[in-house]
Amino acid sequence: MWQRSLTFRAAAHKSFGRSSSRLVEASVPSSSHAAYPFATRWLSSSPVASLQKCASTGNWKSALNILAELDQRGETDAEAYELAIEALGRDHKFEAMEMLMNTMKNDGVVATSTTVDMLVQAHMAHTNGLKIIQVVTDRLRENNPVSLPAFQAAMGECSTLGKVEYPETMLQLLRDTPNCATPLSADEYAALIRCFGVCKRSDLSMHALHLMEEKGIEGTVDVYTQLIRAHISVGACVGRSCLSLILLCAVNQALHVFSLCDRRGVVLGENIYAATIGKLCDKKGFWLATELFATMDAKGVHASHYCMAKMILAYIRTNNPEAAHAMWARIRDHDRPATIATYMGIMHDCVVTGEMDILLDVFSQMQLRHEKLPNVAYSFAIRGMGRQGDTRGALELMETFVDTFGPPIDATTYIAVFNALARSPA
């Protein structure tokens, strides 16, 4: 037991330097105790009660003295270590906390989940993400309980690092431990699924879902939302040449999750519908976008301006101009005006697809709803008037542009005017 007391002495020397010399001597049974009545006073009462008081006040010196005395008597346990580590944490002695944790491990004492939480908080304060992951992974490997906040913290660090090997190791440990001491809930599995999505490994996200279901945990809105995001994020790093693979694999998997939610009566939020519809439109899956929107609309999920703007493009591309105009009318007649960015997105799509009626109506609505418009909005409107043969209107709008912003410096505005003049019957 004397050797373990020496461990406390070494930890104190390394962490606190010269200021800890009295603490070190106080942990050694000798006549020097009389010179330090403060430590003796702590030891005269119940050690646990004394440690609790040290922990609440951050009196780490006395806490280590008491711990050393308990160690010499062979009476140290997880609770004593926990209280000593708490005392160190209150005074931000983080290096000493780590050393004391290592001492616990060497002595075969299993730290409580509360002790681990304190160490995780210390690493968070020092932005030591890898150490947080290591602490939680080691606990899972040894099948010692991990608090749910600590697990969530590890998942957050894994997502920040974006390296799949860390969450994959945790998933494997959870799979290989049937009677896991850490009872995860759907929230923790949602965080794990999100982490795999950040790492562009939607396949592992599916594995996490299957493991969750095998353990009898029901999926939540957050679980399915993160699973869909994991699938639609795969296409973000895939080139145009792999478009067919994206549509057949990642997007189809996302739509499969939507179908799964329909069968289980889970109603997802508008944000994930909008994100998926946006991704489908980006990848030219316009028909699939219209189908998904119809499902969302039937559920009574209120579409955002962004989502409806994407549907205008989807309906135009699927040769359904009536639906496109109806969708624009929903945006136009909404009590809350759309943002300029939304209006500009619609105008851009209309320019690309040649839908000039909606484009000019959007421009008129922008003038009513917003005091100042971007330069490019005028360029789009001039182009729209020119394509409709309204040369006079295009020239008048050009004059308004010059009066407001000065002569254009963007060649596209001049090109739009020239095209309008070229279409003039006169």
Residue 372 lies in a domain: no
Residue 32 has pLDDT above 50, yes or no: no
Q: Which amino acid is at 133?
A: I
CB 171 within 8 A of CB 207: yes
Residues contacting 185, CB < 8 A, separation 6+: 148, 217
Average pLDDT for 74-90? 86
Neighbours of 263 (CB within 10 A): 7
* φ, ψ (nearest 5 deg) of residue 337: -65, 150
Residue 140 lies in a domain: yes
- Of 34-48, 105-119, 160-174, 252-266, the range with the lowest mean pLDDT is 34-48
Looking at the structure, tell me whether residues 137 and 95 fall in a common domain. no
pLDDT tens digits, one per residue of 286-342: 999 999 999 999 999 999 999 999 999 999 999 999 999 999 999 999 989 899 999
Looking at the structure, tell me whether residues 86 and 7 fall in a common domain. yes
75, 109, 143 — which closes off a domain?
109
CB 61 within 8 A of CB 20: yes
Residue 41 lies in a domain: no
The sign of the CA dihedral 367, 371, 377, 382 is positive
Looking at the structure, tell me whether residues 104 and 122 fall in a common domain. no
Looking at the structure, tell me whether residues 74 and 158 fall in a common domain. no
Average pLDDT, the chain: 85
pLDDT of residue 319: 97
Task: Indicate the pLDDT class of residue 426, thresholds 50, 70 and 90.
Answer: low
pLDDT of residue 18: 37
Looking at the structure, tell me whether residues 98 and 186 fall in a common domain. no
Looking at the structure, tell me whether residues 219 and 125 fall in a common domain. yes
Task: Pull the structure tokens for residue 24.
Answer: 């070190």
Looking at the structure, tell me whether residues 105 and 119 fall in a common domain. no
Looking at the structure, tell me whether residues 124 and 226 fall in a common domain. yes
| Residue 97 Cα to chain centre, angstroms | 29
pLDDT tens digits, one per residue of 351-372: 999 999 999 999 999 999 888 8
Residue 304 lies in a domain: no
54, 85, 109 — which closes off a domain?
109
CB 211 within 8 A of CB 180: no
pLDDT of residue 404: 84
Residue 221 lies in a domain: yes
Q: Residue 223 sits in which domain range?
A: 115-232
pLDDT of residue 425: 67
232, 266, 299 — which closes off a domain?
232
Residue 23 lies in a domain: no
- C-alpha pair distances (Å), 182 with each of 66, 139, 410: 31, 9, 61
- Of 186-190, 241-245, 279-283, 390-394, the range with the lowest mean pLDDT is 241-245
Q: Per the structure, how many domains does the chain have?
A: 2
Looking at the structure, tell me whether residues 93 and 197 fall in a common domain. no
Residue 400 lies in a domain: no
Burial of residue 410, with CB atoms counted within 10 A of its CB: 0-12 exposed, 13-18 middle, 19 or more buried = exposed
Looking at the structure, tell me whether residues 89 and 169 fall in a common domain. no
pLDDT tens digits, one per residue of 228-250: 999 998 754 444 555 555 555 77
pLDDT tens digits, one per residue of 85-118: 888 888 888 888 888 888 888 888 888 888 899 9
